[in-house]
Structure 1
C-alpha cells in the first residue's frame, strides 16, 4: 500500500532461463531507483540458491507479489564515446 507522499515503485516481471515457454511463470521483483529497464534486458536477482541472471519480460506499475529488489543489470550497456569528444582529445595536444 502506498500513500500520496511515497512514489510508486516499478516492478519487473522476470523469467528464469530454465523455464519452458509453455509453462513459463513470471516472478515480480522491484526495480531499484534510477535503473531503466525494458523487456528483454538481463538482470541479476537474489534467489534462495544465490544470485541468478534472468530476463525481464514485462515492466509493471504495481504488484502484490514483489518482495525482493533486482540487484543490478547483467548486460551492462556499453559506454559510447561520442566521436566529437574523441577527436577533441587527439587535437588538443601541445605542439612544442
Structure 2
C-alpha cells in the first residue's frame, strides 16, 4: 500500500537469494516505480492506495532455487531526506 504523494521518486528492487549459497550474490528481478496516490485531498491527507507491482522471473537468473526475498527501496536524490509512505502487505507467487 502507498500513501506517497511524489511522482516516480520511489522504486522497489526485488531480489531473490538462496541462503544455502553463502557468498553467492542475490539475483535482481528488477525495479518497479511506485505510482503516486490521488492528489485531490489536502497535503498530508492522502488515502492509502493498493498497488500491485509485478516482477517476472527472467531467463538470466543464476539461481535455480531461492528461499529469501529482499525488497530494497530506491529513492530519487530529491527524496534523500524524506522516507517513503509505502508498505509491503504481501507477496503472491504465480506459477508460470
Common fold, TM-score beyond 0.5? no
Greater helix fraction, Structure 1 or Structure 2? 1
Greater strand fraction, Structure 1 or Structure 2? 1
TM-score (normalizing by structure 2): 0.32
- Structure whose alpha-carbon radius of gyration is higher: 1
* Greater RCO (CA < 8 Å, at least 6 residues apart): 2
